[in-house]
């Protein structure tokens, strides 16, 4: 079909539009052989997301529990804070003064 004439172009476009609508309606009415593949893919993605969500939750839970066990009231941490912090015996000995706790 020659599209050089101005009257033929709308007829050609109308015919193409009718053909596309008819092909679209017939393919939507009957399920194709690949329609279940999309459902399987969605299920696979959902399962992977649930797996990684549980993994991240377990890691966060394990980290917070380990931080609770390593408390600030632990005697080792109190020793480090008291003796090695600012103004502790190491700094007092460098300044020439008596060490803390030695009188």
In a domain, 99, yes or no: no
Overall average pLDDT of the 36-58 stretch: 90
Q: What is the pLDDT of residue 93?
A: 58
In a domain, 57, yes or no: yes
In a domain, 15, yes or no: no
In contact, 23 and 29? CB cutoff 8 Å: no
In a domain, 50, yes or no: yes
pLDDT bin (cut points 50, 70, 90) of residue 10 is: confident
Number of domains into which the chain is organized: 1
In a domain, 20, yes or no: no
In a domain, 59, yes or no: yes
d(CA 77, CA 23) in angstroms, rounded, equals: 75
Judge whether residue 16 has pLDDT over 80: yes
Domain that holds residue 60: 37-68
In a domain, 94, yes or no: no
Tokens of 22: 């008819």
Q: When comparing pLDDT for 2 and 38, which is higher?
A: 38
In a domain, 88, yes or no: no
């Amino acid at each position: 079909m020659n599209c050089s004439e101005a009257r033929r172009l709308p007829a050609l476009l109308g015919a193409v539009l009718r053909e596309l609508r008819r092909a679209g309606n017939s393919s939507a009415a009957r399920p194709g052989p690949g329609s279940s593949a999309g459902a399987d893919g969605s299920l696979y993605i959902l399962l992977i997301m649930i797996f990684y969500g549980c993994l991240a939750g377990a890691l966060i839970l394990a980290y917070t529990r380990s931080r609770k066990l390593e408390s600030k009231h632990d005697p080792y941490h109190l020793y480090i804070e008291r003796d090695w912090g600012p103004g502790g015996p190491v700094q007092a000995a460098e300044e020439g003064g008596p060490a803390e706790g030695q009188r």
